[in-house]
Amino acid sequence: MPQSAIDLVHLARQTGGDHELERELLALFAQQCVHHLRTIHQAEDSRARMDAAHTLKGAARAVGAWQVAEAADAIEQRIAEADARRTEAAMDTLALAAAEARAVIGRFDSAA
């Protein structure tokens, strides 16, 4: 069975089952995805890119977006290693994971 892009059981534990808080956290996470992905892709400073990946990783873990967290972690490591080829591949993986998470968030929000 495919894993959801957002672990809703984890999210419910984090929020104590408060569905309104879940919606708020997911909306905030969706915004953070856009902001941090932009920084990771466009910033020329590798430290800023690593910081954005690290922050996104933490936000993803908080809401149970495990695939986003794993991909952001990979980017953080690849940037630190100055491995441009593997960084690009990791960025593609992160973009896909973030898009999947945002799609789940959109469905979650519209189901409310």
Residue showing tokens 């910081």:
51
* pLDDT above 90 (res 58): yes
pTM exceeding 0.85: yes
Domain 8-111 belongs in CATH node 1.20.120: yes
- Nearest 5°: the CA angle 52, 71, 73 is 55
User: pLDDT of 23-50, one tens digit each?
Assistant: 999 999 999 999 999 999 999 999 999 9
Per-domain residue ranges for the chain? 8-111
Give the DSSP letter string of 32-99. Answer: HHHHHHHHHHH-S-HHHHHHHHHHHHHHHHHHT-HHHHHHHHHHHHHHHTT-HHHHHHHHHHHHHHHH
71-110 pLDDT per residue, tens: 999 999 999 998 888 888 899 999 999 999 999 998 876 7
